[in-house]
Structure 1
Amino acid sequence: MYMRKQVLKHIGCICIVLALGLALFNVYDTFRARKSEEDILAAYNLKNDLNPDIWIDPDMDMPEVELDGLSCIGTIEIPSLDIKLPVTSAFTYDLMKLAPCRYSGSVYKGNMVIAAHNSWFHFGRIHSLDPGSKVVFTDALGNQFEYRVVLIETLTPDSVEDMISSDYPLTLFTCTLDAKNRVTVRCK
């Protein structure tokens, strides 16, 4: 009996150490992502020759700025959360480690969906936005598109059609803390 208690005690200690290690890694990964997005945003601002006077055809492809093999279509800004982030032109889980990604659509067609990690510096706080909060997307040409938060909802991971087929011109989403659902912010 004594031996069994000792083994359980050691297993418990190992679990606590592993949990602390995982928590520390998550903190490290959050700050690594922040540094990465700051570097991308700085390079984006240096390389981007803004020309917002170009007429926009809703059917045209969104212009891109190439940064060391990373293609960005613009920036997303949420002033109430003090967020300004570059947005990549494509969605992959590896790209989401660097910056928010265009999941689908186009700002010109009024159907853009942007996904980002649920970290403090990415979209981890979008669940706290109030209706009416301002969201600004600036494309690679310098055209600004201003939106207001209309609705915050939670969707299941398999609700892809609900995510991309809506009447909202801009949708932002991220995982919930337990990663079982998606916090979805609809903007008009």
Structure 2
Amino acid sequence: MNDMSLFDLLDRLSSLTRMWFRQHPLLADLQPVQLSALMYLARCNRYSNTPLGVTEYLGLTKGTVSQSLKILEAKGLITRTQDVRDKRSVHLQLTETASTLLTALLPPQFLVDGETGMGTRADSLKILLLELLKEIQRTNNVPSFGLCHSCHFHHCVNGMPFCMLTKEPLSIDDKMLICREHQQAENDVS
């Protein structure tokens, strides 16, 4: 096991995750792409909860994502609402059923158990994997989809979070959500 490459290790962990999801009884009628879309929508902000946001995050074709979103809507797992400012845009929200499902599933128990077994070394591993992710994104010009609070555009105005890109105030919860407009802050070395 010690001679496995980083690619081999990441691939094996991904395989175990997919296998766990396929075998979970709550996911019997969901395809992996549908689950991935739900997981993204659970973590993204109001600027990113669009069909285009899902498409860009998952790196799939518009057609694949469109069909998956239609199925999720038909199953009662997401709803679509028209954008108040731009009537051509729609926003996707998880239903209570989808939120309950994700709460029951995530994170997978095998991962929680593995992390617990590693003790404090798990924190070091997360830091290293985050550094790897940032390096890959930086050197390959891949959108970061990072958390709002680590964005170049995130500021505090009158003690409250504020997006300098959209010129809008943010809620406290918004700080911890994924944004498709995210640009890494210059001073972020985490």
TM-score by length of 1: 0.30
| TM-score normalised to structure 2 length | 0.29
Structure with higher strand content: 1
Higher helix share: 2
